[in-house]
A and B are shown apart, each in its own frame.
Chain A
């Protein structure tokens, strides 16, 4: 059974090849022991005859063709799971690194998971109040949704994710005490400072005991990064569907993850598609994102907020592009807003929440939510038109109506978008603020709002003044 294979036949990047292996299976785990006694783990990613290609998680440095012993473990990559994971810090492959030793495993699961049967999904429609106006009103987060933050280097996506994690609550939920709430945090290739920032913030807000952290930092092995989100999501599924908890999963940074995938793919000599990424990038990302959701047979939920930094702020880059096709919307941060000092710099026009339509309105938030959101979008897109015209002919030459829009846009940025890092606005405050801003525009311009709603909520600027 436990045959050890001496030496390797080929090493290429993070991959090692062993020949003469007869009894292995696809995605079997292996341990590679160096002469120095160091142990590394890996996974079989291709079998061809008696040749097995192994992906070594900790990288292949120091490996030679002769100084290793390789053992096949007889099982796929699995993660021990327990409620005791809450409050713990693990490495990218799920091993404790906080010095508190192993936890007692209640169950062991394959990290690849299994696809959720669409028939057993429960359609998500529970509004999560994040206390952030731009998100709550215009790109509403729903429990069980996957809503990524598209950001760029140097923008405050970490702060935003942290604020969401801190303030997220379900209005009128059954879980007032937060008893059933948990956070799974997976860091892939992020800097030490960033990981520390999250840890410190969790600590300060007193939720650290409800957080499982998986850390693969930027100097940790690249290949391990591929397994990190899978471990995190396996933990999240376990907590959600076995212990009925509402789990918020923060994955950062998906760009590093995709780049790790590209690195492995190119060492395997696979045919690249766009920008050198493998042809299966879409399926691979989907196998992570689709693990969000609610199932009918359990009470918990997995909500994902992946963060990705768009290379060169380019939203058409394969990573954000494919992500947008899988996730249920996106929150896009804008460089121009960020430079103007707007926090959170949510660029509202490209931002979208696909599940929002069924989780807002009467019985969820307020009857006017949908109309108001559509009107704000429509008005803001006119602001953009007016701005681009102004940049050509100057603001003074604009028509009266365009000037009104410019003024509206300015107030929108400074009152609606801008808020403090700890400012937690209720949904009613947010919606009222939206109407207050719309009052700057004449009633005839509001063509996305039905007559009854308009009658009830619209007050012109003069009326507001009274």
Chain B
């Protein structure tokens, strides 16, 4: 079919109306105007199509042509994605810089991926094999950390009639020919996929493994599962971005997709700089070797901001299909929702809550449902975990984006302003946060860390709960009037807050804490809890416990005990605590 063409009729911000063509399809990608700006058809009526443009529309004239491409907005999937930084529609920002300098000009034509680079390809399939979608036919080392598995596109199957030998190829080279029915299909290294359509898989699997992040408040208190979805809501300055960065650095996924959606330019630069320098502790390679960045900063065109989320999740699914665990960070989904609102407003659609369109909830659910732990078409297992930051207006969690997000995620890390003000980071409020994955992960923790891990976690949570109800009283009458048993609870809770929940992202050891150490820290805290309660029963004055400095020792564990060879120092500390308490309770017992 010849590509359709129309003419610009009206322009309002990123929304352009087109007349003179009735063959545009919904979600078709189009080129707008003489500069060929990229756009997408978002509405079709008799003789009129509505197009959202992914670039600035200043200078567009009425009557300029709008050309259809015959297909939906798609991105290129091939080696060369990892370590790269793209804009919202997969245009590599480094190449854009080479063309237009420090600033991003409009209507630039760049390839999504490097088409010239030769990849060292090892062929895995042989002629005569019957292959189906998703099957791996070749591999190449994409980065030092990652083997890229080249797959048959999902909708193709048949018998291999010809296959290339091992060697160096460009991504557009044909490496296999497949006979499917009457047709012969050329399979290239690269494939294209429409961003708004989820890539298929064989079967969804139940959640069973945690995404280990090395952050105590997350791993121990509110764990996220591989294949799960989490939200981090918080007002400005509560540390959403810091938390996302920490997760991107330390979580045990194979690949990180980091989407800067409508956020600050300097933050993306920081991620780029920092991840090139930071070394992955397991592989001793730069973290950037497992990371792909998508940057659509707040001053870049708003329609591309809407696309950036889909581009990111499509890239994540592509690597999942190869059998990898992928973690996707979206910072921030509120900016994406606002992009929807802005475009909806320009279309003069009937607004629902706070001006957001009525389809906000369905779009959010469609996005978060692309997370999952699956068996792929090629029978490998892979996962996409989604961590979305939410920036509620005025820090008020009752606004539509937070509320609707809450319905589709199962792990909620609520950031709290007053914690952030007192520089308690990560400022995840333990009373309002939750993780529904706790039950499903209990077995994993029991098998891999400690049989009573979840039990201990619950004991700590109970102490914090009790503290919060005591604080209500303290706020009214002061802590001095409380009985000793309750003062003891406050003291234990203080050590939990400062020693366990609070974590220093800038400290070499404390920035990432293995589960083993988290477990032992809980042991020590619960030991302290038991001993201090014994003191209270014996009627020992609590101030003596305070003077002994035991609590300070526990709070300093994060600095005083490293991450390796931890058994001996923890044992020594436990002994010291026991001796100190024995001393307090029974006099000079040695």
Contacts and interface: CB of A to CB of B under 8 A. Distances in A.
A358 B559 CA distance: 21
A31 interface: no
Given A22-B62, A447-B555, A282 B298 contact: yes
A209 interface: no
Give the interface size class of chain B. 35 or more
A287 interface: yes
Contacts of A388: 475
Nearest to A47: B11
B355 A118 contact: no
Interface stretch (A79-87, A319-327, A457-465): A319-327
Contacts of A287: 298-299
B266 A271 contact: no
A114 B107 CA distance: 13
Interface in A426-466: 444, 447-448, 450-451
B353 to A, nearest CB: 10
Nearest to A76: B58
A444 B97 contact: no
Interface stretch (B155-163, B341-349, B566-574): B341-349
A266 B342 CA distance: 15
Interface stretch (B143-151, B247-255, B269-277, B511-519): B269-277
User: A-side binding surface: helix, strand, loop or mixed?
Assistant: mixed
A13 interface: no
A121 B269 contact: yes
A306 interface: no
Contacts of A311: none
Contacts of B297: 115, 118, 286, 290
Contacts of A115: 103-104, 265, 297, 299-300
B478 A397 contact: yes
B403 interface: no
Interface in A39-85: 46-50, 76
A388 B418 CA distance: 14
A116 interface: yes
Nearest to B417: A350
B422 A349 contact: yes
A290 B264 contact: yes
Contacts of A296: 102
B354 A273 contact: yes
Interface string A2-26: 0000000000000000000011111
User: B-side binding surface: helix, strand, loop or mixed?
Assistant: mixed
Contact of B93 (A117, A316, A392): A117
A279 B355 contact: yes
A279 B549 CA distance: 55
A278 B345 contact: yes
Interface in B469-496: 474-480
Contact of B552 (A123, A241, A397, A447): A447
A97 interface: no
A451 B559 contact: yes
B394 interface: yes
Interface in B220-279: 235-237, 260, 262, 264-266, 268-270, 272-273
Interface in A343-377: 349-350, 352, 354-355, 357-358, 370, 374, 377
Contacts of B71: none
A298 B102 CA distance: 9
B17 interface: yes
Interface string B372-404: 000000000000000000010111100000000
Contacts of B60: 25-26
A118 B268 contact: yes
A129 interface: no
A287 B56 CA distance: 12
21 contacts: A26-B58, A46-B11, A48-B9, A114-B104, A115-B265, A118-B268, A121-B265, A121-B269, A145-B266, A283-B262, A283-B302, A283-B339, A291-B299, A297-B101, A318-B394, A325-B236, A326-B298, A330-B237, A370-B506, A399-B479, A447-B498
Give the 6 A-B residue pairs with the shortest CB-CB distance, closest first. A316-B394, A286-B298, A273-B355, A381-B422, A324-B236, A290-B299
Interface of A: 22-28, 46-50, 76, 110, 112-124, 144-145, 241, 270-274, 278-280, 282-283, 286-287, 289-291, 293, 295-298, 316-318, 321, 324-326, 328-330, 349-350, 352, 354-355, 357-358, 370, 374, 377-378, 381-382, 388-389, 392-393, 397-399, 402, 444, 447-448, 450-451
